[in-house]
Structure 1
Amino acid sequence: MGLAIAQENNMGLMRRNCSMKRVFLILAGLLAIHIVVMTLFDIYRPPLTDFPDNEPGYGDCPACITRHPRKSNCKGCFPIAYPNILNNGKMCETGKSLDFMILIASEPEHVKHREAIRDSWVSKNAKYENVTFKYAFIMGLDHSNNTANANVLTEADTSNDIIQYNFVEHFRNDTIKGVLALNWAVQFCQNANILIKVDDDVFLNIPNLKDTLDKTPLDKTVAGHWLASRGPVRTEKSKAYVPYSYFPESSLPEYISSSMYLMTYETAVEVVKTVPDTPFFHLEGVYISFVIHKIGYGVKQLDGFNNFQVHPNPQYYCSCLTTSQELEPEDVTMIWDGMRLAGCTEQRVRCKTSYTPYIDVTWCRYWWWRHTIWLIAKWTFIITMCINIPLGGLLNYLGSRGVYLNALHKALYLGDTDGLVEHAKDGRSLRDIVSSNPPTLIKNV
């Protein structure tokens, strides 16, 4: 009796080991296939061409990408000369010095994004302590939705916070939008100390930003989420695609994420002066960094800046976070409501916890790592289930039809474990058993 129980336990352990090894081998095999396919794609793919001539937003230069390599210098090749549809040039005429002029890049169709921002972090009800700012939404024209373009004019009459230029909205024209925003602010917001460009899918924690800048002056830099020098993306389907024919160099300079960056007014003046003589580049963050490096200034990472979506925990947002991006309008509203309940919408709050008197940099890092580990665990579980469930179903289906991959599959499906136990008693490992039964389809007769 005891021997039978031991044999059964032995067999259960062998089955579990077999299942775990099978999952690992499948994952390793898929990874190997992916690496081989991508390597072959890079080696044997045809030469990359220019962006399609009929892409929206490329009807005229400088936004068009030619088939000639991008020059490092030029004279007057990128004029900032797009007609203004909505100006609101008197927005900054308050007679007071502004800490921030916030330039929010939007699109005509993003009505809900603008409403969520107006009701949250730029709301008139958000009474920030010791912070003065103005904001404006910057956008072009939708090339395929005249209704949305017309609705913008109506919205502007009500909100008085929209600046619109006559250029086509397209993600490859984001550089144009960013440059026009800085140019507008340099002309009309000379009383602003710092200019901030931010996308409309970003949540900006203004009290935390003010607290960070009080400790970390900008000086002659553009600051935000810093990205190290890296090679251009050569995958044609990517939004960050850079053709060889346009930029043949092997690496880009260190740059700032375009989702949000900021600079002093004085630095912005130098940027606007330098733009006309700096050849266009369709990735906004890279282009701004090209200009900054050309001036002789630098780029800087600021604490709390992220170029990804951060888990919306109110304590983390109150104490650690300055920006989070890729947010839907309802996410922005939810974050703001959570921060309001936590009492940190007016100033930075060091939330108390059960294990530390206040949330400091160490706690912020701990929370970040905890969230990262949670994401890894979540996606590992999802991927494992996506592989194991179909695989288990396939093996069961084959077994029900009397078809088996090998003798081990047949024995496990039929519950005929006597032979496997005998092999184990003889000192043979599970690997020996499997290797002696190669994966040949066996038809049960």
Structure 2
Amino acid sequence: MFVCFRRIRKCQLRQLIMMCFLLSVIKVYWESLDNNVTSHVKSYSFRLLNSLDFISANLTISQEEARKFSNHRYLINHEQKCVEEDVLLLLLVKSSPENFERRHAIRSTWGNEVYIKKNLGVTVRVLFALGVHPQPTARKRLQQKLLQEDEIYQDLIQQDFLDTFHNLTIKLLLQLGWKNAYCKHARFLMSADDDIFVHLPNLIRYLQEVDHSGVKDFWIGKVHRGAPPIRKKDSKYYVSHEMYPWSLYPDYTPGAGYVISRDVASRTYQASLTLNASIYIDDVFMGICANVIGVSPQEHVFFSGEDRAPNHICIYNQMMTSHGHVKDFHELWKLATDPAVQQVSSGLFGKLYCTIAKIRLLCLLHPVKTYPCKAAFL
């Protein structure tokens, strides 16, 4: 009886210790979650009730000061890339000097200008925007390889700034400045990372429809509304109070991939020449510039969020972008351009099948943050 009692006591002690451990974990997680939710609710509520003009007003500087952020000399340039062409879309891909394989994969899949012209009947210009490698020892070797690469493909634009995460806003200024200087007539500008997949056939068809309507103030992508700055110092996206003292950002689209119209590109570039670009999160700076000109981003449910799109034929049929791709560009391009993809969702039964499939992928099984549930019903 005594032995049994001792066993019960030991069992209860283990349960108590385990319970305390679980409660500690839940407490830490809940505090983190609660702070995150609270900051989002506060910032979004403020966004609904107030204008954000005070942000741009406080970031306004002289044009002479502003030009210091974008006054970098070109190391590689192609001033004639858009000359005498009716360009529907200028697609500027943010890449790093060492990402040779990614650029090659993009050229032979969704960024293939010849394929687009031959099969879609429009002119798209694809260029890769680069800085210089931050390590001096690797810079000279890589620079020689970049010059050889560009001699073959003629599609790199590079300026003399360090190609690092904290200079992404400088790279955005490179894109806006190049568009304004050398391809002002292109009807749309897309900014994209080199690890996303762009379904060019779907995007081109969509932009042609939009273009026929004479659209202005056009900016589409995955929209973040009322997002607060991240103040955790261990986060990649940490922004100090000194750099950005306010509790929320203007609405913006993630820099992985978004599209703006010609007029927005021109006016955003002009706005960038009056603002302090020291904030290094480029998509947030884009939101600040757009707020100056009175343009807000519009949500497109098939622009990817933080992860890659589900692997399903009914998704490819409407996909615009999918994030987080490096090794599977060729496989995805083959599936996306297969004529059978378009046929799957045709007809009453095809549409019903794809709706059910998308509900399962986007609503019921939703482990990734790509397309919202409402995309299943489109």
> Same fold judged by TM-score > 0.5?
yes
Bigger Cα displacement from structure 2, 315-324 vs 280-289: 315-324
- Mapped to 2, the partners of 1:361 and 1:294 lie a distance apart of 41
Q: Secondary structure at the match of 1:227?
A: coil
| Correspondence 1:271 to 2:262 | no
- CA gap of 1:264–1:39, structure 2 versus 1, over 3 A, is closer
| Alignment-mate amino acid for residue 263 of structure 1 | I
TM-score, structure 2 as length reference: 0.76
Match of 2:172 among 154, 178, 201: 178
The aligned counterpart of 1:31 is 26
Q: Secondary structure at the match of 2:130?
A: strand
- Mapped to 2, the partners of 1:246 and 1:373 lie a distance apart of 35
The aligned counterpart of 2:96 is 107
Bigger Cα displacement from structure 2, 136-145 vs 238-247: 238-247
Q: Secondary structure at the match of 1:262?
A: strand
| Correspondence 1:358 to 2:355 | no
Map 1:31-430 to 2 at 5 A: 31-35=26-30, 71-76=58-63, 77-79=65-67, 80-93=70-83, 95-123=84-112, 124-126=114-116, 127-144=118-135, 145-146=138-139, 147-215=141-209, 219-280=216-277, 281-311=279-309, 313-328=311-326, 330-341=327-338, 343=340, 349=342, 351-352=344-345, 356-358=349-351, 362=355, 365-369=358-362, 372-373=365-366
- Mapped to 2, the partners of 1:266 and 1:36 lie a distance apart of 44
- Residue pair 2:189, 2:260 contacting (<8 A) in 1 also: yes
Please give the per-residue CA displacement for 1:269-311, whole angstroms capped at 9, x wherever unaligned: 1111111211112111110110111012221112310122324
- Mapped to 1, the partners of 2:328 and 2:237 lie a distance apart of 25
| Alignment-mate amino acid for residue 72 of structure 1 | L
- The structure that is helix-richer by fraction is 2
Q: Secondary structure at the match of 1:356?
A: helix
- CA gap of 1:246–1:172, structure 2 versus 1, over 3 A, is same
- Mapped to 2, the partners of 1:108 and 1:216 lie a distance apart of 34
Shift of 1:353: 8.0
- Residue pair 1:311, 1:371 contacting (<8 A) in 2 also: no
Shift of 1:23: 9.6
Structure 1 residue runs without a partner (length 5+): 1-21, 41-69, 377-445
Bigger Cα displacement from structure 2, 307-316 vs 218-227: 307-316
- Mapped to 1, the partners of 2:225 and 2:189 lie a distance apart of 23
Structure 2 residue runs without a partner (length 5+): 1-16, 36-56, 370-378
TM-score, structure 1 as length reference: 0.65
- Residue pair 1:224, 1:261 contacting (<8 A) in 2 also: yes
- Residue pair 1:78, 1:279 contacting (<8 A) in 2 also: yes
Shift of 1:372: 3.9
Larger Rg over CA atoms: 1
- CA gap of 1:359–1:279, structure 2 versus 1, over 3 A, is farther
The aligned counterpart of 1:5 is none
- Mapped to 2, the partners of 1:26 and 1:215 lie a distance apart of 57
- Mapped to 2, the partners of 1:223 and 1:373 lie a distance apart of 23
User: Superposition RMSD on alpha carbons, in Å?
Assistant: 3.3
- Residue pair 2:88, 2:123 contacting (<8 A) in 1 also: yes
- Mapped to 2, the partners of 1:207 and 1:159 lie a distance apart of 22
- Mapped to 1, the partners of 2:81 and 2:349 lie a distance apart of 44
Shift of 1:314: 4.9
- CA gap of 1:293–1:363, structure 2 versus 1, over 3 A, is farther
- Mapped to 2, the partners of 1:361 and 1:224 lie a distance apart of 23
| Alignment-mate amino acid for residue 333 of structure 2 | W
- Residue pair 1:320, 1:361 contacting (<8 A) in 2 also: no
Q: Secondary structure at the match of 1:297?
A: coil
- CA gap of 1:297–1:154, structure 2 versus 1, over 3 A, is same
